[in-house]
Amino acid sequence: MASVTAADEKRVLDAAPHQLWIGGEWRDASNGATLGIEDPSTEETLCTIADGTPDDAVAALDAACDVQDEWAQTPPRDRGEILRRTFELMNERADDLALLMTLEMGKPIAESKSEIVYASEFIRWFSEQAVRIDGRYSVNPNGSGRLLTMKQPIGPCLLITPWNFPTAMGTRKIGPAVAAGCTMVVKPAQQTPLSMLALAAIMKEAGLPDGVLNVITSSKASSVTEPLMDDPRLRKMSFTGSTPIGKMLMEQASKRLIKCSMELGGNAPFLVFDDADLDAAVEQGVIAKMRNIGESCVAANRFHVHESVADEFAARLTEKLAAMKVARGTEDGSQVGPLIDGKQRDKVAELVDDAVGKGAKVMTGGERVGDKGYFYAPTVLSDISPDAELLREEIFGPVAPVATFSTEDEAIAAANSTEFGLVAYVFTRDIKRAFRVTEALDVGMLGLNRGLVSNAAAPFGGIKESGFGKEGGPEGIEEYLSTKYVAVDL
């Protein structure tokens, strides 16, 4: 993409929908309220959008319920074709979608572009899965009859998406829901709703019938999600976000036993053994840490490096991070945009200050950048004290603490000493150690000599307090299907 101009920014902002999407209509909030969307790199308001009310949320669920039966009867091939067309449109419009995302979320344009590709891959993957929903036929073990299973759409869903990947975290829920024959209400994050509204417009253009997808934007998330969680028509809730909010939603879901998928927080350890290919470990470590400005639940949260290579690893990681360009995401060559808001930047700064107060050495960074916008410098810390908060807390920012270990058992114990269990990264050239450590780590995903695991064709998801349920891969659609067993007497 050529350099972004102010005219480009105005054009994509003007073209983006700013209203609620309910039953195939763009609507203002029922009380006329609006909510401002901030550019995190300038702290200025980009635009205002509808601030949905509880009544609007119920109207969205009404619209979803009205068309649930008809949508469930739509031939799977037709559902797949709509997704396929969505995939194509997303890629045709990738430049504008990426710019819109950068404006509201802050990440560099190149990263927004990658996210649009990643997001569209979920749509393509599930366009292919729509026609692969099957069941079983078997003979009763006692020979007296037949056992059949069939899979049916679970029903209307509530999909709650985060601000860090405004489009991809939506498509990996919307794709399988559409493919399975479910209707839905999507509640995007308050900070980044424009990308989701733009996606809704594209899906309409791709032929998605009115009412299948509804989008409610709001400044008070729980005011619009709570009435839906308490509505007997809602059959499924999928959430990506923090563990505390996930626990609160689980409590609400327990009242009506709503089926949940939970993609929650992480605290990914990145283990580098003494036999690792250090070039690969550094290169992949930069990806694992700096993708999305570190604002990812799969970001490497802490590096545990064997004591014999730790100094070299830390020095090389420092060289890479110190060279990264920190700038507004629309600027040519920007590699590190602002954090999402002041609260997030302050949290990152506090975690760094805590570590430094407990003896950590700042190899690079360790400070805010600029007077405007929520920028924080790429940071490497060494000499980490075991009681530093950032070894336990999800940093969600561009900060790499490098701790050391001396034995394999010590590395495994350090990696597992967290309530989270989303992902881990392991760097070793010893195949036996690779499998030993892989089996010993309590995580739902593992990157073996790789710093990136995310892939639409693979089951994304964690264990422990990182949540449950899988998104992507053949498993992803199962979250939106219920299995009916039929006992047949012949």
From CA 417, how far away is CA 348, in angstroms rounded? 21
Q: Of 296 and 301, which has the nearer Cβ to ligand SIN?
A: 296
Q: How many residues sit close enough to ligand SIN to count as binding (CB under 6 A)? A: 10
| 373 CA to centre of own chain | 23
Draw the binding track, 443-472, toward ligand SIN (x: CB under 6 A; -: no contact): -----------x-----x------------
Q: Cβ closer to ligand SIN: 12 or 264?
A: 264
Q: Which of 178-186, 269-277, 293-301, 349-357 is the region at the interface with ligand SIN (rule: CB under 6 A)?
A: 293-301
Q: Is residue 240 involved in binding ligand SIN (CB under 6 A)? A: yes
165/179 Cα distance (integer angstroms): 21
Contacts of 162 (CB under 8 A, 6+ apart): 169, 189, 240, 241
Burial class (CB in 10 A: 0-12, 13-18, 19+), 92: exposed
Shortest spacing between CB 240 and ligand SIN, in angstroms? 5
Closest CB 464 distance from ligand SIN, rounded Å: 16
**What does the alpha-carbon distance between residue 234 and residue 259 come to, in Å, rounded to a whole number?**
9
Q: Among 109, 297, 414, 477, which residue sits at the site for ligand SIN (rule: CB under 6 A)?
A: 297
Residue 178 CA to residue 84 CA, distance in Å, equals 11
Q: Which is nearer to ligand SIN, 120 or 240 (CB)?
A: 240
Span interacting with ligand SIN, options 34-42, 67-75, 164-172, 385-393, rule CB under 6 A: 164-172
- Please state the closest distance from residue 287 (CB atom) to ligand SIN, in A: 11
Beta strands in 279-398 (DSSP E): 300-306, 361-364, 368-369, 375-376, 379-382
Task: Select 299 or 411, whichever has its Cβ closest to ligand SIN.
Answer: 299
Q: Which is nearer to ligand SIN, 310 or 423 (CB)?
A: 423
Decide: is 298 part of the binding site for ligand SIN (CB under 6 A). Answer: yes
120, 161, 164, 330: residue in contact with ligand SIN (rule CB under 6 A): 164
Point out which span in 142-150, 163-171, 242-250, 435-443 binds ligand SIN (CB under 6 A): 163-171
Look at phi and psi of residue 266 and say left if phi exceeds 0, alpha if psi is from -120 to 50, else beta.
Answer: beta
- Check residue 119 for interaction with ligand SIN (CB under 6 A): no
Closer by beta carbon to ligand SIN, 125 or else 273: 125
65 annotated active-site: no
Q: Which of 297, 394, 471, 479 is catalytic?
A: 297
Among 165, 273, 427, 480, binds ligand SIN (CB under 6 A): 165
| Buried-state track 93-122, b at ≥16 Cβ within 10 A, e below 16 | bbbbbbbbbbbbbbbbbebbbbbbebbbbb
Per the CB < 8 A criterion, the answer to whether 311 and 318 are in contact is: no
Smallest gap, in angstroms, from Cβ of residue 171 to ligand SIN?
11
| Least distance to ligand SIN, CB of residue 453, Å | 7
| Beta-ladder partners of 300 | 268
Output b/e per residue, 24-58; b: 16+ Cβ within 10 A.
bebebbeeebbbebbbbbeeeebbebbbbbbebbb
User: Active-site residue 251, yes or no?
Assistant: no
Helix (H) or strand (E) holding 116: helix 109-129
Nearer to ligand SIN, 405 or 460 (CB): 460
Contact 130, 475 (CB under 8 A): no
* Tokens matching residue 10: 């105005």
Marked catalytic residue, from 104, 115, 263, 479: 263
Q: Residue 274, Cβ neighbours under 10 Å: how many?
A: 17
Residue ranges in contact with ligand SIN by CB under 6 A: 164-165, 169, 240, 263, 296-298, 454, 460
The residues that are catalytic are: 263, 297
